[in-house]
Amino acid sequence: MIGNRAASFSGTPRKSLIGWRCLWHEPSVLITVILITTLLILFVVFPLFQVFKTCFITREGATLTLKYVWELFTKSYNRQPLYNSIILGICVALLGTTVGFAFAYAVTKTDMRFKRFLQASTLLPIISPPFVIALSAILLFGRNGLITRKLLLEGVGIDLYAAGFDIYGLTGLVIVETLAYFPTAYLVLVGVLSSIEPALEEAASNLGASRWKVFRTVTVPLSLQGIASAMLLLFIESMADFGNPLILAGRFNVLSVQAYLQITGNDNLPGGATLAMALLLPSLAVYFLQHYFLRQRIFASLTGRASGAGIQTVDKRVKYPLIAICWGAVGCVFLLYGLVLVGSFTQLWGVDYSLTLNNYVEAFRLGADYLLDSLLLAAIATPLTGLLGMVIAYLVKRKRFVGRGLIDVTSMLSFALPGTVVGIGYLLAFNQPPLMLRGTAAIIVLLFIFRNMPVGIRAAAASLDQIDVSLEEASINLGAGSFTTFRRILLPLIAPAFFAGLTYSLVRCMTAISAVIFVVSGRWNLITVAILGFVENSDFSQAAALSMILIVFVMTAVGLIQLVLTLAFKRRITEFFRDASVYEQLNS
């Protein structure tokens, strides 16, 4: 038994010996497979089908039509948002990936100081609503902004807006979305650069190659897959972004906002659904282009894993530009978020800059219901999301049955789709009997669960790949069922992945806007919707106060989740490995 435990970490895990026919001898697992399949069909496939179907029916729903698809490509008021979204997505993907790569390269390949601080700074845009940066950009560069009016217009008499400057539009959106999403590129690329075999770079350097040639001929080719993945992720996130364009787009119309306005403003569900589905076209095109481009250009390290620290770049021509990019981006992030903090204490931004606590008093008075609703719905959805993700990962990785691959792919659909598409799908799918959920808390919770669970599934699947199936086989041979084996053996071992899924779910539940904007109601609302409402009413100080409250609550909740999971699983993991004589090795 001890040997089997230690084998879990000695090499590549073996494939499961449990065949799909054995499910008939495990009724609990069979019932779980049937239940999860039903849930995925109902809450992932059905909403997407409803969006697709609605694109081809009239407003009355009586006959089929190609009118809305035809108008998408022939009417300029539909084509222009599509073009704008593509342009914005390309700019954000290029700039965001560049900044993210600079961060990742500085952290993994240089001796730059304060690396941990830089890494921690990238988390701030992740754990806060993305449109908070857009709010701060208005506070700085809006018509009543601190720089544009207070410092320049009133201070030295320079009117930037009269000279043609405008924060509303493509330029403002590119800056804001780049700062909001470059941490995503960093998280992808830091793992890629860390896994590159340093001996390859060192060998090239020892053979006389310059730092630039090593970077160009070794580092970049080995990083191509990660760079392309980061660009794809940022492109999709930019295309699906709703909050930032709603605040900063101005006359620069994009698809996500246009689809929302078609549904809420023009009461045109088919037209809005068609625009939402159009969001998939550029994303799919970029995905296939990426796949085609990289098909003959993928390189790999010889050993498959890094053997030690990489080259510590000290060349000033490399180090100083990296320092400028990293600290420049971090400085912008802290400036923008710091201004939100200052703005939350301002009497009336743009008019009266005197400090006050009234914004927080009013925020708790006016936004208390929104905050409580957000906390309650997130508290319900987060554990369910984490648990469902663990169960699906376990079934996909440890059980063999007909349709296993289909379950894996289907579970990822809602994450891969833009939030606007998912939100409209839930609006259409659950707006009539027998599944009349509109206006209830259930529709919001279900959207949270099936929108966020793919991250938990991927994290748990990666952890399960590192655990040899002999542990489970030994447990089953000793008489334990699949449920007991999962609960007593696997769950403690994949606790870090469980925590990752819970944390991601909580953050996304508290900061969601693009999907849930279509399913919130007067009875159940979210704090992010309240913040957007204050911004649209130009009450920036009140919006800033609510944003700071939200950030503090999210950070506190993430800390509590980590504490609870540490206390719950640490003792069990310690006891489990003590007899296997590998605990000290893992601890070191």
- pLDDT tens digit sequence for 503-520: 778 888 888 888 888 888
Band (pLDDT 50/70/90 cuts) for residue 206 is low
Q: Which of 397-401, 403-407, 541-545 has the lowest mean pLDDT?
A: 397-401
Band (pLDDT 50/70/90 cuts) for residue 204 is low
Beta bridge partners of 64: 57
| pLDDT at site 313 | 57
Q: Which tops the pLDDT comparison, 585 or 514? A: 514
| Residue 36, both tokens | 């999860």
Q: 353: which DSSP letter?
A: E
Name the region of 166 (left: φ>0; alpha: ψ -120 to 50; beta: rest). beta
| pLDDT at site 3 | 41
Reply yes or no on whether the pLDDT at 41 is more than 90: yes
Collapsed DSSP state (helix, strand, coil) of residue 195: coil
Helix (H) or strand (E) holding 534: helix 527-536
| Residue among 279, 459, 453 nearest 382 (CA) | 453
- Domain range annotation of the chain: 18-54+360-588, 80-133+169-328
Angle between helices 76-109 and 220-240 (to 10 degrees): 140
Band (pLDDT 50/70/90 cuts) for residue 565 is low
Band (pLDDT 50/70/90 cuts) for residue 7 is very low
- pLDDT tens digit sequence for 326-346: 888 888 888 888 888 888 898
Distance, in Å, from the CA atom of 131 to the CA atom of 529, rounded to the nearest integer, reads 11
pLDDT cut 90: percent of the chain above it: 7
- CB 133, CB 176: distance < 8 Å: yes
Reply yes or no on whether the pLDDT at 46 is more than 70: yes
Reply yes or no on whether the pLDDT at 9 is more than 90: no
Reply yes or no on whether the pLDDT at 576 is more than 50: no
| pLDDT at site 11 | 41
- CATH code for the structural domain at 18-54+360-588: 1.10.3720.10
- Averaged pLDDT for residues 346-372: 83
The CATH number of domain 80-133+169-328, selected from 3.40.50.1980, 3.40.50.300, 1.10.490.10, 1.10.3720.10: 1.10.3720.10
- Averaged pLDDT for residues 31-42: 90
| pLDDT at site 14 | 44
- Averaged pLDDT for residues 198-214: 67
Band (pLDDT 50/70/90 cuts) for residue 521 is confident
- Averaged pLDDT for residues 182-186: 85
- pLDDT tens digit sequence for 146-178: 888 888 888 788 888 887 788 888 988 999 999
Q: Which of 2-6, 300-304, 570-574 has the lowest mean pLDDT?
A: 2-6
Reply yes or no on whether the pLDDT at 538 is more than 60: yes
- Averaged pLDDT for residues 513-536: 84
Band (pLDDT 50/70/90 cuts) for residue 209 is low
Type of residue at 26:
E
- CB 134, CB 243: distance < 8 Å: yes
Q: What is the pTM of this model?
A: 0.76
Q: Which of 171-185, 260-274, 405-419, 566-580 has the lowest mean pLDDT?
A: 566-580
Q: Which tops the pLDDT comparison, 289 or 426? A: 426
Reply yes or no on whether the pLDDT at 577 is more than 50: no
Reply yes or no on whether the pLDDT at 360 is more than 80: yes
- Averaged pLDDT for residues 573-584: 42
- CB 553, CB 371: distance < 8 Å: yes
Reply yes or no on whether the pLDDT at 444 is more than 50: yes
Q: Which tops the pLDDT comparison, 582 or 553? A: 553
Q: Which of 342-356, 448-462, 488-502 has the lowest mean pLDDT?
A: 488-502
| Residue among 505, 504, 503, 478 nearest 489 (CA) | 478
Q: How far is CA 157 from CA 152, 153, 190, 336, 349, in A?
A: 6, 4, 45, 24, 20
Collapsed DSSP state (helix, strand, coil) of residue 582: coil
Distance, in Å, from the CA atom of 120 to the CA atom of 286, rounded to the nearest integer, reads 31
- How does the average pLDDT of the chain come out, rounded? 77
| pLDDT at site 174 | 93
Q: Which tops the pLDDT comparison, 542 or 289? A: 542
* Residue appearing with tokens 């997407």: 48
Reply yes or no on whether the pLDDT at 4 is more than 60: no
- CB 37, CB 403: distance < 8 Å: yes
- pLDDT tens digit sequence for 476-493: 777 776 677 777 777 777
| pLDDT at site 88 | 92
